Amino acid sequence: MNKANKPQARNVARYVGEDGDTGSWVDGKKTYVGRVKEYWPGKGYGFIACQETQGIFQGDVFLHKKQVEEANLEKGNLVTFSVEINSKSRPQARNVERVKAPSYASESGRQAAPQSEADIQMEDA
């Protein structure tokens, strides 16, 4: 009970299943779109900023150097990814792919302005 003699939750944690199971609250098959916010090669990790995952996890998604190297990522790249809960019970990016901007060329050979991030729409996998 709290000071007002009302029930109060304590030591609350998100549900994470056993043996690497991401738990029922994380859909490991869902694809998100975000941007590489930070990456420190010397430390071997970084973070992906994504509005949708921010609402779920209240923080950025951990990005391991393995995913950075496999997808040839740099800070600022637009990416698609899925999420898995790691051994520290934090969201970690998996199946990371760099979103390559399409090449737009007019018939005269001049390039048109590239689409903004808001114009690129991704569907759930």
Instruction: Give yes or no for residue 18 having a pLDDT over 90.
Output: no
SS3 28: coil
What is the distance between the alpha carbons of residues 115 and 6, in angstroms, rounded to a whole number? Answer: 53
The confidence band for 109, taking pLDDT boundaries of 50, 70 and 90, is low
Q: What is the pTM of this model?
A: 0.64
> Looking at residue 89, what is its pLDDT?
85
Whether 36 contacts 77, CB under 8 Å: yes
CATH of the domain spanning 33-94, picked from 1.10.3720.10, 3.40.50.300, 2.40.50.140, 3.30.230.70: 2.40.50.140
Cα–Cα nearest to 60, from 75, 49, 51: 49
Any residues with CB less than 8 A from the CB of 93 and at least 6 apart, and which? 48, 61, 62, 63, 64, 67, 79, 81, 82, 83
Task: Tell me the average pLDDT across 104-115.
Answer: 54
